Amino acid sequence: MKRIVIFASGSGSNAENIIKYFQNSEEIVVTHVLSNNEQAKVFDRCERLNIDASLFDKDSFIHDDTVLNFLQVEADVIVLAGFLWKIPAKIVNAFPNKIINIHPALLPKYGGKGMYGMNVHKAVKENNEAETGITIHYVNENYDEGAIIFQAKTSVSSSDTPETIAQKVHELEYEHFPKVIEEVILQHE
């Protein structure tokens, strides 16, 4: 059984989608959700879904090995689902090609520090892009620069707003992210 630990900073809708997707899997299980935000709605979702969730701070993530040690015991694969901190090199190095992130744009466009959530969708709209989408990629030491695993596109019309763009992108996330995680994990068996 391959074990996933999910990192989430916000509402946790992608985390919930992933947890539900693997609930009846005989090969993959989500064992834990970790968050750096005590206000994150993901905690409510985990409680409802009966998934263990823990809060951590910057010290235990970056300066000491608390989070790293936990992951080395609990995780085969790490999934970032709306997690906003950069992953420290020591964790990236301990889990080479085993940390998967989703980004709400077609990388390399609209990636990097500060490019998340509505910031991305506003930039897509301001630049009159004809399309946007999602990028699922491995995590390395730099924001949004790891090897691309999968991309899916959606059109953007002149009548779209950042909010309608966000909705289209969320639909792609929910449709593809769990399936791509599963494919990546089963290919590495």
The catalytic residue among 32, 103, 121, 137 is 103
Known active-site residue 103? yes
Helix or strand holding residue 152 (H, E): strand 148-155
User: How many other C-beta atoms lie within 10 A of the C-beta of residue 181?
Assistant: 26
Instruction: State the Cα–Cα distance between residues 83 and 102, nearest whole angstrom.
Output: 9
Instruction: State the Cα–Cα distance between residues 82 and 6, nearest whole angstrom.
Output: 10
| Burial (0-12, 13-18, 19+ Cβ within 10 Å), 131 | exposed
What are the residue numbers of the active site?
Answer: 103
